[in-house]
C-alpha cells in the first residue's frame, strides 16, 4: 500500500471511531424528547378537558345536556342543552362543504389535467395567497359584504345568519381542497393516463375514469381535512353568525357553533368555578371528539377505497 492509501485508511478509521462518540448517543435522545413534547401536550390537553368536563357532566344531567334548551346566562336556572351548538356547527359546516368541495375539486381537476403549465404557474400561488388570508378578514368580509349582498336576494335574511359565514367559510376552504386534491391527482402515474388515452378516451374521460378513482383516497382525505377545518373554524362564525342559542334549521337566522360559544364565554363573564365555566370544557371535549371521529372515518374510507398503483 502506498503512503497516500495508508493515510486515507487511517483518516476513515479515526473518523468512524469518533462517530461512536457522545454526540451520536445524545442526539437521538434529544430528538426523542422533542418529539415527546407534542405528544405530552396533547395528553395534557385531553386530561384537562376530561377532568373539567367531568365536573360539568356531573353537575348537569345528561337529559339536559342532550336537549335543545340552551340558556347558560339566565340568572335563574340556567340550562345547558348542547344540541343547538352541534346543530349550528353541522349546518354551517355543511354549507361550507357545499361550496368548498365542488369548487375545490373542479379547480384541482382543471389545474392538474387541463391547465397549461403557464396557467398552473399563475393560479397556484393565487390559491396559496387565498389560503393565507387571516380568518378574521374572511369574517369581516362575510359580515360587511356577503350578508348585505345576500339580503338583497333574500329579504328575510337576518343580519347575523348561518348562510353567509357558511359560504365564506367554504370559499376560505377551497384552496385547501384544491391543493390537496391536486397533489393526489398529480401523483397518478402518467403511464395510467396514457393507457387510457391509447384506448381512445378523451381527456375528460381520463380525468373522470382514471385520475379521480386512482386519487380517491387523497381526495377523500382532503374532504375530511376540510370538514375538520370547518368544524374548528371560529372567527368567521363568531362575527357573522352571531350567538343565537335557538335550535333551528333555518339558515337565514343566527346560529351559534361550538367554537363561537367558547369565544363568547371565554371573553365574557363566566366566572371560574361556575357551571357555565365548566361547560366550556365539555364543549371543547365534544369538539375534539368530532375531529377525532372525522379522522377515523377518513382512515377507514381511504383504506377501503384505495386503488393502489
Partner 1 sequence: MKEIELTNRINTTDKMVFDVKGLNLWYDQEQALRDINIGIEKNRVTAIIGPSGCGKSTFIKTLNRMVENIPSVRITGEILYHQQNIFDKAISVEELRTRVGMVFQKPNPFPKSIYENVVFGPKIHGIKDKNLLMEIAEISLKRAALWDEVKDRLKKNAIGLSGGQQQRLCIARALAVNPDILLMDEPTSALDPIATGKIEDLVLELKKDYTIVIVTHSMQQAARISDKTAFFLTGELLEYDETKKIFSNPQHKKTEDYVTGRFG
Q: In the range 101-120, which residues lie near partner 1 by CB under 8 A?
A: 116
| Ramachandran bin of 242, using left for φ above 0, alpha for ψ from -120 to 50, beta for the remaining angles | left
Q: How far is the CB of 202 from partner 1 (least distance, A)?
A: 6
Q: How far is the CB of 307 from partner 1 (least distance, A)?
A: 4
Residue 114 CA to residue 112 CA, distance in Å, equals 6
Instruction: Indicate the residue among 97 and 210 with the shorter CB distance to partner 1.
Output: 210
* # residues contacting partner 1 (CB under 8 A): 21
Among 79, 201, 275, 302, binds partner 1 (CB under 8 A): 201
Largest CA distance in the chain: 96
Among 191, 249, 273, 303, binds partner 1 (CB under 8 A): 191
CB contact set of 2 (below 8 Å; sequence gap of 6+): none
160 in Cβ contact with 251 (< 8 Å): no
221 binds partner 1 (CB under 8 A): no
192 binds partner 1 (CB under 8 A): yes
Among 155, 198, 249, 273, binds partner 1 (CB under 8 A): 198
291 binds partner 1 (CB under 8 A): no
DSSP per residue, 251-267? TTS----HHHHHHHHHT
Instruction: Indicate the residue among 148 and 189 with the shorter CB distance to partner 1.
Output: 189
Taking the CB of residue 228, how many other CB atoms lie within 10 A of it? 18
Phi and psi dihedrals of 52, rounded to 5?
-75, -35
- Stretch of residues binding partner 1 (CB under 8 A), selected from 26-34, 99-107, 203-211, 294-302: 203-211
Q: Give the H/E segment covering residue 269.
A: none
Among 7, 10, 194, 269, binds partner 1 (CB under 8 A): 194
Among 195, 268, 292, 300, binds partner 1 (CB under 8 A): 195
CA 151 and chain centroid, separation: 29
Hey, what's the cell of 241?
Answer: 353568525
Among 5, 199, 267, 273, binds partner 1 (CB under 8 A): 199
* β-strands 79-80, 70-71 pairing: antiparallel
Give the footprint of partner 1 on this chain (CB under 8 A): 116, 189, 191-192, 194-202, 205, 209-210, 213-214, 307-309
Amino acid at each position: 500500500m502506498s503512503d497516500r492509501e495508508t493515510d486515507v485508511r487511517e483518516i476513515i478509521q479515526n473518523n468512524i471511531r469518533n462517530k461512536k462518540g457522545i454526540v451520536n448517543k445524545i442526539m437521538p435522545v434529544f430528538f426523542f424528547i422533542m418529539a415527546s413534547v407534542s405528544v405530552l401536550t396533547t395528553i395534557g390537553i385531553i386530561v384537562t378537558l376530561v377532568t373539567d368536563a367531568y365536573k360539568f357532566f356531573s353537575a348537569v344531567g345528561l337529559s339536559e345536556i342532550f336537549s335543545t334548551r340552551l340558556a347558560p346566562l339566565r340568572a335563574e336556572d340556567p340550562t345547558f342543552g348542547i344540541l343547538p351548538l352541534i346543530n349550528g356547527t353541522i349546518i354551517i359546516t355543511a354549507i361550507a362543504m357545499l361550496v368548498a368541495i365542488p369548487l375545490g375539486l373542479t379547480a384541482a381537476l382543471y389545474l392538474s389535467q387541463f391547465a397549461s403549465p403557464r396557467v398552473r404557474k399563475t393560479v397556484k400561488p393565487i390559491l396559496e395567497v387565498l389560503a393565507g388570508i387571516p380568518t378574521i378578514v374572511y369574517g369581516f368580509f362575510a359580515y360587511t359584504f356577503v350578508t348585505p349582498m345576500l339580503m338583497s336576494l333574500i329579504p328575510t335574511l337576518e343580519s347575523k345568519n348561518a348562510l353567509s359565514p357558511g359560504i365564506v367559510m367554504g370559499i376560505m376552504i377551497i384552496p385547501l381542497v384544491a391543493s390537496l386534491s391536486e397533489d393526489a391527482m398529480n401523483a397518478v402515474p402518467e403511464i395510467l393516463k396514457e393507457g387510457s388515452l391509447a384506448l381512445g378516451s378523451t381527456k375528460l374521460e381520463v380525468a373522470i375514469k382514471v385520475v379521480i378513482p386512482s386519487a380517491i383516497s387523497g381526495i377523500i382525505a382532503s374532504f375530511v381535512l376540510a370538514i375538520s377545518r370547518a368544524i374548528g373554524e371560529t372567527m368567521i362564525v363568531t362575527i357573522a353568525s352571531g350567538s343565537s342559542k335557538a335550535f333551528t334549521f333555518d339558515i337565514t337566522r343566527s346560529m351559534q357553533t361550538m367554537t363561537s360559544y367558547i369565544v363568547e364565554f371565554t371573553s365574557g363573564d363566566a366566572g371560574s368555578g361556575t357551571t357555565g365555566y365548566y361547560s366550556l370544557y365539555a364543549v371543547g371535549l365534544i369538539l375534539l371528539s368530532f375531529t377525532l371521529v372525522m379522522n377515523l372515518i377518513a382512515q377507514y374510507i381511504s383504506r377501503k377505497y384505495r386503488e393502489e398503483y
